[in-house]
Every structure is written in C-alpha cells, then in structure tokens.
Amino acid sequence: MEETLKILVVDADEVDRIAVRSALTKAGVQMELSEVRDGNDAFSALSTTTYDCVFLSYHLLDQDALTLIQQLRSSEIKVPLVVLTAQGDEQIAVQLLLKAGATDYLSKSRISPETLTQVLRSAIRVYRAEMQAALANQQLRETHEQLIRKNQELERQQQHIQMQNFNLLEASQLKSDFLATISHELRTPMNAIIGFSQILLRPKFAQLTHQQADMIERILNNGKHLLMLLNEVLDFSKLEAGRLDLKAEIFDLSKVINLAVGEMRSLADAKNLSLLVQTDLQNTLIFNDPVRVKQILINLLSNAIKFTESGEIWVEVKELAENRVVIQVGDTGIGIAPKNFKRIFEAFRQVDQTITRKYPGTGLGLAIIDSLVRMMGGKIFLESKLGIGSMFKIELPRQITLSTVAGDALASPVDADGVFCSAKNHHQSSSQASKASIGYPKFKL
Ligand code: ADP
C-alpha cells in the first residue's frame, strides 16, 4: 500500500497491542499507528480523527466491542472495523459483530504480518466499496425523488393545459354558436328589408319620384350586401362547428357557371371590366352541391371584380385526367405577393388588415372556399403576380363522396390524401405559375 494509513488499535492488553503493531511493521505497512486501551478513549479518538482502519479487541476494559460499535453507529461515525477475538470468541464475533456493523474479524491467535495486512486491505476495500455503494444509493434516491417531483409537476401542468384547452374549446363553441345565432337572427329582418324594397321598386306597386327610387335602390343594394356578409359569417360558424352539410345532386356545371357569371355581370360592367366565360367540357354533368359550387364561383368572381381596376375577368372550365374538372377564375387586378398566398386562406385574413383599407370584406370568403373545396375532395391552386393579376384554380372530382365531416374541413389543414393543403403545396408561387402554363391566352404572367 502506497498511502500512509491511519490505524487505531483498541486493546486493553499491551502484549496484544504490541503483536498487532509489530506484525504491521513487519509487513511494511506505511502507517500512523495510535493505540488506546478502552472503549471510551476509542470513542473520543474516533470522534475527533478519521482513521483508515480500527483493530478492536472484543474484550475491553470498561465494555465489550459490541457496545462500542453500537455507540459509533448511533453517532454516525463510519470506519472499517476489524474485531480481534480471543480463542473461542469467533462464534460471538460472527453472530453479533458482523451483524452490528464490524467489517471483519480475526482471531488473535492467527495474527501474523500476512494475515493482518490481508485483513487490513480487504477491510479497507470492503469499506470503501460500501461507501461508494451508499453514495450511489443516496444519489439514486435523490434522483428518484426529483423525478417524482418533476412528474407531479408535469401532471399538474398537463391538468392545467387540459383545463385551458377545455375552456378554449368551450369559448370557441360559444363563439360559433353566438355567430350562428346572431347571423341567423339578422337574416330574417334583412330578408324583409330586401323583399319590401324590391316590391316598392315595382312600377305597378308605387309611384315613386326619381329620388325615392334611388334611395330604395340603395337600401336594396346595401341590404343584399349585408345579407351576403351575414351568410358568410353563418357558413363559417357552421363549418367551424362541423354542421355544414353538402347536398349533392347531378347538375349541369356550365349552367351553374353561367348563372353565377350572370349575377356578377352588372358589377363587372359597373367597373368597365370584360367578363369572359369559356367552357371546354365534353360532359357538363357533375355530381356535387350546386348551391355550394355557385357560392365558390360567386365568391371568386366578386373578389376578382373587387380587386381589379381595369382589364378583364374570366372563367374557364376544363376536363382533367382521372375524372376531374378544373374551374379557373382569373383577373388582371392588383395581384397577391407570394408571402401572402397561404395567409389569405386563413379566416379573417386580408392582405390589407388596416381599418382604412381600400377594399371592404370580412376576410372569410377564401377560408370558406378552402373548406368547401376540401369537403368536396378537391384542391385549390393560386397563381398570382403583384400588379399583373391572379388566378384561382379549383380542381374537383366529377363525382364527390360525402364522407368528409364539415368540422374537419376547417379544423385541419390536411386534405384527404394527407397533403398539407396550404400555399406550400397547393397555392403555388408565381414562379411555379409561369411553369404551370395556365393556358388562357388573355393572361400572361
Ligand atoms: P375578403 O375578400 O372579404 O377580404 P377573402 O377571404 O375573400 O376575404 O380574401 C382574403 C384576401 O385575399 C382579400 O382581402 C385580398 O387581400 C386577397 N384576395 C382575394 N382574392 C383576390 C384577388 N382576386 N386579387 C387580389 N387579392 C385577392
């Protein structure tokens, strides 16, 4: 052993103490050896100094080794202890001392340089290994307690988040219900305003001055506009609550397109915009919800007219492979920057979000279209360039399947194929647009 060991010998018998000392010296153990005669002296020596090993005679002057070991234990003094037993004491040593906490024992009759150094080394090794194990155990216990505490904290946080989630869902549900109720309630008086204005404008019904007719026409137009906004809010809240159903039937797509275009023509005329339609379908019949298809068209057309100051608006319908059709609505309007491609499909989002914005609207139109198209199992593509124009392409299956739940359509941006249904994939950038060759001669990006 390289290190100098501090060793304490506790024995009333001087001959025995000399035997231990000389055996250790002969064995060449580098040590600082202290000797005491009784248990009390041993206890005070061990209370003030740290020893590497104690050789302890079983019989002491004032007490036996067992009492001293228990005393050391209760004072939490830890040290490797080798009990030296007299002839015939081995049994007691094994039964009592090892159980009480001694590290090892050796019969005094067997003391020799070899046996003593062997016992000394193994006692120190065992003691150190025990200390390390105790330390590791302590660390494990602490880590375990920390983990339990963290787990409890996580559980608390999870409960808190669940609670907040629940509150949010409830608030969102309340908001949707409120929107649905209020827009529904407002529609009834609005229909009366529109209906009576129309009756008043009938020449047979009333003799109106030019000024009166003009005023009633304004009431009628504003009423219609307000009704359209209310319908958007109602649709949106229905989609959010998963309560909007598609009522599919077989109908003539070109007729619905002509109807929508017919309804929007006066608005285009008022802005001196040409409104062109090109239908290129071998079979014009499709299976879908005609009211919702028309709504999509009216919405796209009204945006195209709203955001175009000069030039033209066009609608083009074509067959696609795999029994699909594409409806394209294009304009030569202000265009949309690529960074806004995704945003404009989110509810209440507009490129110009200021209150003083030039173009009015709720910001719900495209969000509703996006959800409806997804419910129909279709996809929307956007191609646009600032200052040049925009084109919205709606790809639809000729025959829709009514499996999509309406609520999912708004809640998740993932379409039936699991494709992320946003600007990233479907609403193409303008650079992609030029490659996509949209094929209408009037529109060049
Ligand atoms: P709203 O038209 O009521 O504002 P939409 O959801 O229909 O709401 O459209 C969202 C936004 O997308 C619009 O505010 C506008 O900024 C942009 N947008 C939609 N269509 C066009 C278009 N044809 N040309 C330019 N910008 C458009």
Rounded (5°) CA angle 35-40-45 = 50
Task: Looking at the structure, tell me whether residues 235 and 252 fall in a common domain.
Answer: no
Task: Looking at the structure, tell me whether residues 257 and 404 fall in a common domain.
Answer: yes
Which of 94, 111, 128 corresponds to the end of one domain?
A: 111
Residue-wise pLDDT tens digits, 320-355: 988 999 999 999 999 999 988 888 898 777 776 665
Distance 234 CA to ligand 1 centre (A): 19
Residue-wise pLDDT tens digits, 297-321: 999 999 999 999 999 999 999 999 8
Q: Is 350 in the pocket of ligand 1 (CB under 6 A)?
A: yes
Distance 345 CA to ligand 1 centre (A): 9
Question: Contact 298/260 with Cβ under 8 angstroms?
Answer: yes
CA atoms within 13 A on the CB side of 281: 21
- pTM to 2 decimal places: 0.59
User: Could you tell me if residue 87 is inside a domain?
Assistant: yes
Per-residue pLDDT of the chain (445 residues; tens, 9 = 90+): 468 999 999 999 999 999 999 999 999 999 999 999 999 999 999 999 999 999 999 888 878 888 888 889 889 899 999 989 887 777 777 776 667 788 888 988 889 999 999 999 999 999 899 899 999 999 999 999 999 999 999 999 999 999 999 999 888 888 878 888 888 888 889 999 999 999 998 877 778 888 989 999 999 999 998 898 888 888 888 888 777 889 999 999 999 999 999 999 999 999 999 999 999 999 999 999 999 999 999 999 999 999 999 999 999 999 998 899 999 999 999 999 998 888 889 877 777 666 556 666 778 899 999 999 999 999 999 999 999 999 999 999 999 987 644 444 443 333 333 222 333 334 444 333 333 333 333 333 3
Rounded (5°) CA angle 305-311-222 = 25
DSSP SS3 for 424: coil
Task: Looking at the structure, tell me whether residues 345 and 273 fall in a common domain.
Answer: yes
Q: Could you tell me if residue 118 is left (phi over 0), alpha (psi between -120 and 50 degrees) or otherwise beta?
A: alpha
User: Could you tell me if residue 257 is inside a domain?
Assistant: yes
Q: Which residues pair with 279 in a beta bridge?
A: 317
Q: Is 331 in the pocket of ligand 1 (CB under 6 A)?
A: yes
Q: Are strands 312-320 and 324-331 parallel, antiparallel or unpaired?
A: antiparallel
The residue to mutate among 230, 235, 307, having the most atoms of ligand 1 within 8 angstroms of its beta carbon, is: 307
Task: Looking at the structure, tell me whether residues 272 and 408 fall in a common domain.
Answer: yes
What's residue 231's pLDDT? 87
Task: Looking at the structure, tell me whether residues 236 and 249 fall in a common domain.
Answer: no
CA atoms within 13 A on the CB side of 127: 21
Task: Looking at the structure, tell me whether residues 106 and 220 fall in a common domain.
Answer: no
Residue with CA closest to ligand 1 atom 12: 344
Number of domains in the chain: 3
Rounded (5°) CA angle 268-274-276 = 105
Distance 119 CA to ligand 1 centre (A): 91
Q: Which domain holds residue 99?
A: 5-111
User: Could you tell me if residue 141 is inside a domain?
Assistant: no
Task: Looking at the structure, tell me whether residues 229 and 254 fall in a common domain.
Answer: no
Which of 240, 255, 272 corresponds to the end of one domain?
A: 240
What's residue 404's pLDDT? 47
> Residue 57, class by beta-carbon neighbours within 10 Å (0-12 exposed, 13-18 middle, 19+ buried)?
buried
d(CA 238, CA 101): 77
Q: Is 336 in the pocket of ligand 1 (CB under 6 A)?
A: yes
Distance 300 CA to ligand 1 centre (A): 9
